[in-house]
A and B are shown apart, each in its own frame.
Chain A
Amino acid sequence: MQKLELLGARRWLCRSISSNPLRVCVVGSGPAGFYTAEKMLKAHQQAQVDIIDRLPTPFGLVRSGVAPDHPETKIVINQFSRVAHHERCSFLGNVTLGSSISLSELRELYHVVVLAYGAESDRSLGIPGENLKGIHSAREFVWWYNGHPDGRNLEPDLKSTDTAVILGQGNVALDVARILLRPTTELATTDIASHALATLEESSIRVVYLVGRRGPAQAACTAKELREILGIHNVDIFIQESDLLLTPVDEEELKSNRIQRRVHELLSKAATSKPKHACLNQRELHFVFFRKPNSFQESKDRAGHVSGMHFEKTVLQGVSPGKQIAVGAGEFEDIKCGMALKSIGYRSVPVDGLPFDHKKGVVPNDRGRVLSDPSDPSVLEKGLYVCGWLRRGPTGIIATNLYCAEETVSSISADLENGGLISSSTLPKPGRDGLLQLLHDRNVRVVSLSDWEKIDSEERRLGSSRNKPREKLASWDELYKTTS
């Protein structure tokens, strides 16, 4: 009798799983989205995971952020593709949260919604002249050379000047500097967008300044990227040796930070090594420390165009143990440049109905659970979670999202176990079928995984004839045409 009951319970469980699976929607198909999907599929056998993305192409910043000359970093796409092919997972591209479908609609359709759509805007400096021509955010520039369909029209002018100033010294700043300085023959065999390669081939930029507010002990880049840029062919490196002197506070900081210690070592080595043999067309990379951007200067000859930057020198001031900030020292200095790229951080954009901390630029959350009110951790948005840059801000490497996703998924699992998400009275949710119906009614053209594979194989085909791993389809038109 007991056996029968158990059997019955099991049968009921099986039936309820097949007829009422856990419907999960992940918004955003970058590393945070894919790692979340992977962990969800593994942790919950009854989970059906749909990954939506506003682009027809998956993989987020692995495709449009990672530099074209870093193919090894993109190998993680293999792993994400396996997730996308999982029988309980699907990819729905060309679906934009906020316009194709609202957040509240999505939450009606799914038991669990995980927002992992990253940061598609930029921090601004808020200084005079920021809107002059010739000034771009590093994000836009990266989108442009990586063939992001929204970066196609940037068309940066690299021919009217020989000098570019990059504000910021993180890895994105180093990527951008490297793309500007690296011989184009070396870029030609990467998956760089062809429009960008053509523009770079005609570039007259030969001097790049990487400017940071603080010193070499606080530089935000990592050793790999620094080592790489210091080793570029035909580029002389300039670093003021006096900038490398460490204060006792700096030394204390370096002791507890392996990355910054190794970065400082590399910079010191580069500062003392002699410049390579000078020759014509030699390019220059200047690391400039202790400078705070004060204003952009307008060109006298070309109205509305940037011609230089006005900086204030800085000194460091300790605010808490291990943290020093740059404060103005009252001395000023100009650097002439016809192009300026702001690499001071990405910024997330909220959607309707989403609690958002505008000061930090993230969604307020408790280990991935979205909070209704940033100041009150006890009120949760039921079934709504966040992961990746939207959760913790625009920092970290691809692997950081692995740990971020693990934590968000363990929060979801805990909530499921506590019955906070699905109770016996919870009605089945329509999930994917409901979403597809709604999108169909709104004439949204969903790009499926097999559609993406058409794009993928077309890009590889185009690339192989040009000795590139792929030739990215870099406009919405081309992307749509290939899927039809």
Chain B
Amino acid sequence: MQNSKVARVGASIVKHLCTRNCTSLCGVGYIRSARYHYKQPLFQHHSFTKLYKGAMIEKHNFLSTMTTNNTTKERSEQEQAISVTFIDKDGEEKLIKVPVGMSMLEAAHENDIELEGACEGSIACSTCHVIVMDVEQYNKLEDPTDEENDMLDLAFGLTETSRLGCQVIAKPELDGIRLAIPAATRNFAVDGYVPKPH
């Protein structure tokens, strides 16, 4: 968990450095919005200070996780873990526990589940595409942002209940969620989904 956090902060700092003078073009705000549930309108011009503050908040979080390596934190996280079932490309199921607040991409990687993550959660690729196998669970997720939809456009084997794994964040209501990793050779029957007529 800490490793992936380091990677995440690293990536955000790199991006922050690259885009500190840009206005609305970078995905920084949106990643954070997913994780911390900030609402940010489209094309909002992030000022430099805003970006900077954002990076600092994340940095602070990272440091505080590093220093509180005692058991209380771990225990509370365990208590707040949800069950998630991944269905891999060969149709095999794997049940894992995912702490609340963690993305499904991170969770998959921590549990050796083969889910690609080319851009490491920065909403710049579609490789962590997962299919939510139950419409009710899918409806509990916040709507994808335009940025996520832009990437889902390019996802292989897109369905009506597709999401990017990096944007599905564990929360208590999602306990028991089932996520399929699409494969070229399989069709999915999603529970409760009625195909729209063309």
A interface list, Cβ under 8 A from B: 69-73, 75-76, 78-79, 185-186, 188-191, 222-224, 227-228, 231-233, 255-256, 258-259, 262, 397-399, 402-403, 406-407, 467-469
Instruction: Determine the residue in chain A with the shortest Cβ distance to B11.
Output: A75
A69-B22, A72-B124, A75-B124 known; A227+B150 contact, CB < 8 A: yes
Distance from B63 Cβ to chain A, minimum over Cβ atoms (Å) = 22
Specify which chain B residues have a CB less than 8 angstroms from the CB of A232 in the assembled complex.
Answer: 25
Give the number of A-B contacts (CB < 8 Å): 97
Instruction: Determine the residue in chain B with the shortest Cβ distance to A407.
Output: B184
Q: Sorted from nearest, which 4 A-B pairs have the closest CB atoms? A: A72-B124, A224-B150, A72-B122, A76-B118
Pair B14/A469 contact, Cβ less than 8 Å: yes
Specify which chain A residues have a CB less than 8 angstroms from the CB of B167 in the assembled complex.
Answer: none
Pair A398/B125 contact, Cβ less than 8 Å: yes
Interfacial residues of chain B within 99-147, with CB under 8 A of chain A in the complex:
116, 118-120, 122-127, 146-147
Pair A399/B154 contact, Cβ less than 8 Å: yes
Distance from B147 Cβ to chain A, minimum over Cβ atoms (Å) = 7
Can you spell out 6 A-B residue pairs with CB atoms less than 8 angstroms apart?
Answer: A73-B119, A73-B125, A76-B118, A190-B18, A231-B23, A231-B24
Report whether over half of chain A's contact residues are helix, strand or loop; otherwise say mixed.
helix
The CA of A262 and the CA of B144, in the complex, are separated in Å by 14
CB < 8 Å neighbour of A256 from B14, B116, B146, B198? B198
CB < 8 Å neighbour of A71 from B18, B43, B149? B18
Specify which chain A residues have a CB less than 8 angstroms from the CB of B118 in the assembled complex.
Answer: 75-76, 79, 398-399, 402
| B9 at the A interface (CB under 8 A) | no
| B161 at the A interface (CB under 8 A) | no
Specify which chain B residues have a CB less than 8 angstroms from the CB of A76 in the assembled complex.
Answer: 118-119, 125
A79-B118, A231-B24, A259-B153 known; A72+B17 contact, CB < 8 A: no
The CA of A446 and the CA of B21, in the complex, are separated in Å by 39
The CA of A191 and the CA of B15, in the complex, are separated in Å by 12
A72-B124, A262-B149 known; A185+B156 contact, CB < 8 A: no
Q: C-beta contact mask, B34-72 vs A, less than 8 Å → 1, else 0?
A: 000000000100000000000000000000000000000
Interface residues on B, range: 35 or more
A222-B153, A223-B149 known; A189+B126 contact, CB < 8 A: no
Specify which chain A residues have a CB less than 8 angstroms from the CB of B15 in the assembled complex.
Answer: 71-72
CB < 8 Å neighbour of B184 from A233, A403, A469? A403
The CA of A262 and the CA of B123, in the complex, are separated in Å by 17
A222-B153, A224-B151, A262-B149 known; A467+B126 contact, CB < 8 A: no
Report whether over half of chain B's contact residues are helix, strand or loop; otherwise say mixed.
loop
| B20 at the A interface (CB under 8 A) | yes
A188-B21, A258-B158 known; A75+B120 contact, CB < 8 A: yes
B interface list, Cβ under 8 A from A: 11, 14-15, 17-27, 43, 116, 118-120, 122-127, 146-147, 149-151, 153-154, 156, 158, 184, 198
Specify which chain B residues have a CB less than 8 angstroms from the CB of A72 in the assembled complex.
Answer: 11, 15, 26-27, 119, 122-124
Pair A75/B122 contact, Cβ less than 8 Å: yes
Pair B156/A78 contact, Cβ less than 8 Å: no
Pair B156/A399 contact, Cβ less than 8 Å: yes
Instruction: Determine the residue in chain B with the shortest Cβ distance to A223.
Output: B150
A222-B154, A399-B156, A406-B184 known; A186+B21 contact, CB < 8 A: yes
Instruction: Determine the residue in chain B with the shortest Cβ distance to A188.
Output: B21
CB < 8 Å neighbour of A255 from B26, B149, B198? B198
The CA of A229 and the CA of B149, in the complex, are separated in Å by 17
The CA of A478 and the CA of B183, in the complex, are separated in Å by 44
Specify which chain A residues have a CB less than 8 angstroms from the CB of B17 in the assembled complex.
Answer: 189, 467, 469
Pair B23/A78 contact, Cβ less than 8 Å: no
Distance from B75 Cβ to chain A, minimum over Cβ atoms (Å) = 32
Specify which chain B residues have a CB less than 8 angstroms from the CB of A186 in the assembled complex.
Answer: 19, 21-23
Distance from B59 Cβ to chain A, minimum over Cβ atoms (Å) = 18
Specify which chain A residues have a CB less than 8 angstroms from the CB of B125 in the assembled complex.
Answer: 73, 76, 397-399
The CA of A78 and the CA of B4, in the complex, are separated in Å by 13
Specify which chain A residues have a CB less than 8 angstroms from the CB of B126 in the assembled complex.
Answer: 397, 399
Specify which chain A residues have a CB less than 8 angstroms from the CB of B127 in the assembled complex.
Answer: 399, 402
Most A Cβ at <10 Å: residue of B20, B116, B154, B184: B154
Instruction: Determine the residue in chain B with the shortest Cβ distance to A190.
Output: B18
The CA of A78 and the CA of B122, in the complex, are separated in Å by 13
Pair B21/A185 contact, Cβ less than 8 Å: yes
Pair B154/A189 contact, Cβ less than 8 Å: no
Specify which chain A residues have a CB less than 8 angstroms from the CB of B123 in the assembled complex.
Answer: 72
CB < 8 Å neighbour of B19 from A71, A227, A407? A71
Distance from B148 Cβ to chain A, minimum over Cβ atoms (Å) = 10
Most A Cβ at <10 Å: residue of B18, B123, B146, B153: B18
Pair A189/B119 contact, Cβ less than 8 Å: no
Specify which chain B residues have a CB less than 8 angstroms from the CB of A190 in the assembled complex.
Answer: 18
CB < 8 Å neighbour of A222 from B11, B150, B184? B150
Distance from A222 Cβ to chain B, minimum over Cβ atoms (Å) = 6
Instruction: Determine the residue in chain A with the shortest Cβ distance to B43.
Output: A231
Instruction: Determine the residue in chain B with the shortest Cβ distance to A77.
Output: B118
The CA of A468 and the CA of B21, in the complex, are separated in Å by 12
Given A189-B19, A223-B153, 5 new contacts (CB under 8 A): A189-B21, A227-B146, A399-B125, A399-B156, A469-B17
Instruction: Determine the residue in chain A with the shortest Cβ distance to B20.
Output: A189
The CA of A78 and the CA of B109, in the complex, are separated in Å by 15
The CA of A223 and the CA of B153, in the complex, are separated in Å by 8
Pair A402/B154 contact, Cβ less than 8 Å: no
The CA of A358 and the CA of B153, in the complex, are separated in Å by 31
Distance from A333 Cβ to chain B, minimum over Cβ atoms (Å) = 32
Specify which chain A residues have a CB less than 8 angstroms from the CB of B120 in the assembled complex.
Answer: 75, 78
Distance from B18 Cβ to chain A, minimum over Cβ atoms (Å) = 4
Pair B18/A189 contact, Cβ less than 8 Å: yes
